[in-house]
Amino acid sequence: MNIELLTIDSARTSVLEKETTATALVDAFYARIATEDGAIGAYLTLCKERAYRQAARIDALADKGDALPPLAGVPVAIKDVFTTKDVRTTAGSKILENFIAPYDATVVAKLEEAGAIILGKTNCDEFAMGSSNENSGFHPVRNPRDHSRVPGGSSGGSAAAVAAGTAVASLGSDTGGSIRQPAAFCGVVGLMPTYGRVSRYGLIAFASSLDHPGPFGKTVKDVAIMLQAIAGRDPLDSTTADVPVPNFCGHIGQPVDGMKIGVPLEYFEDGLDAEVRAAVEFGMQELVNAGAEVIPISLPHTAYAIPTYYVIATAEASSNLARFDGVRYGLRSGEAKTLSEMYRRTRDAGFGAEVKRRIMLGTYVLSAGYYDAYYLKAQRVRSLLARDFDQAFTTVDAIITPTTPTVAFKLGEKTDDPLAMYLADIYTVTADLAGIPAISIPCGKSKEGLPIGMQILGKHFDEASILRVAHVAEHALASRLV
């Protein structure tokens, strides 16, 4: 069995039809991790005892002939910002290097209830702050398509694990593009659901009003199945929405005849790589050939998205990370003689440079005298960005843009220029600010063979429509991705 090509359907079917066992799949994936992951660095922690225990449960169900859950026997990886009971949970930071979580995140519990087997925790930018996965407190992740390049961030480990075939699917989090951007760089599918569709309980917060848990997979159907398993109201998270969860897979395969697809002019201006533009335009033409209508639209406040995002995100990060003080959990400096000195020494030793930078920025914009000038103004602009999308969706069913302005860049290329790094998320932060769902699918390759991603955005809680469009595009573009 060629395990690196397994999808959720094929992995589950192989267990259901007794072509293999869940335990044998776990054996095979751990063997592949041992041979492949040393060069990539996608995993931080493996949870073998937990994985084999779940595999034995699935095999017992299969042996008895009982109905198997939708993810039965499917090996998955979890971004290390989600708590996992009795398993190390670091958020990619030295400050939590030895932290063992006392409970499972809701999404983790739901995946296991659906039969998934958790292989381990994936590397990420520290506290999900980054666009390249070079900000991990442990080691960078390398792109499986080209080890000299970044996999994207912050969920680079989760994307890389799927791309490298060391997991069938994975879970990430998206605050400003951290699912869609690495999906584009690694040539996999990444879905960010509507804010409130999926519980954040157990997600170590970066920016609470922007964090979206979501899945990676090899196919659009993979992420639809994952979303089905993790979506829904959670009494442990008051920000989850009490709205119906549709049958997402039921929309896979439906035609796009008559659908109106908006193309925002602001996303195709200077700064977009020519090869990326050509690949995305080819993808749009394939949708036209399939019966959709492409309509030019405008999202006029797009130019303000990056500064708005970095004011709001850093302000929330400054507040959220105040809890890491050496008192309750995580690293504690043993050299301090006073409480305030312990705070300073603990945070200095535990936090990396990018996290410190964002905490300082966030504290500044929340400080007296600057709150109105920066934070309050950013929240007003956020409302304008959301209104742009609301108005656009009165005339179109979905919106298509590039996922990223370029293909994956070289390791170290942008580490000395934070502003250039931040601009890697220029096409993705708008959806986070507006709280709408978005998906990135592969739509072609550069001359160097590097993946290019196409982003599809939808209305609030209308993941079904973007999955429908993405599935049609995926099949139309399949020959360009070989």
The helix (H) or strand (E) run that includes residue 368 is none
Q: Could you give the CA distance from residue 436 to residue 391 in angstroms, rounded to a whole number? A: 13
Asked about 333 being catalytic, the answer comes back as no
Q: Which tokens in the block code for residue 175?
A: 């605050």
Say if strands 169-174 and 212-217 run parallel, antiparallel, or are unpaired: antiparallel
Q: 3-state SS string over the chain? A: CCHHHCCHHHHHHHHHCCCCCHHHHHHHHHHHHHHHHHHCCCEEEECHHHHHHHHHHHHHHHHHCCCCCCCCCCEEEEECCECCCCCECCCCCHHHCCCECCCCCHHHHHHHHCCCEEEEEECCCHHHCCCCCCCCCCCCCCECCECCECCCCCCHHHHHHHHCCCCCEEEEEECCCCCHHHHHHHCCEEEECCCCCECCCCECCCCCCCCEEEEEECCHHHHHHHHHHHECCCCCCCCCCCCCCCCHHHHCCCCCCCCEEEEEHHHHCCCCCHHHHHHHHHHHHHHHHCCCEEEEECCCCHHHHHHHHHHHHHHHHHHHHHHCCCCCCCCCCCCCCCHHHHHHHHHHHHCCHHHHHHHHHHHHHHCCCCHHHHHHHHHHHHHHHHHHHHHHCCCCCEEEEECCCCCCCECCCCCCCHHHHHHHHCCCHHHHHHCCCEEEEEEEECCCCCEEEEEEECCCCCHHHHHHHHHHHHHHCHHHHC
Asked about 319 being catalytic, the answer comes back as no
Catalytic residue (choose from 14, 136, 154, 173): 154
Catalytic residue (choose from 79, 110, 121, 218): 79
Q: Which tokens in the block code for residue 153?
A: 């961030």
Catalytic residue (choose from 158, 170, 178, 318): 178
Asked about 199 being catalytic, the answer comes back as no
The residues carrying an active-site annotation are 79, 154, 178
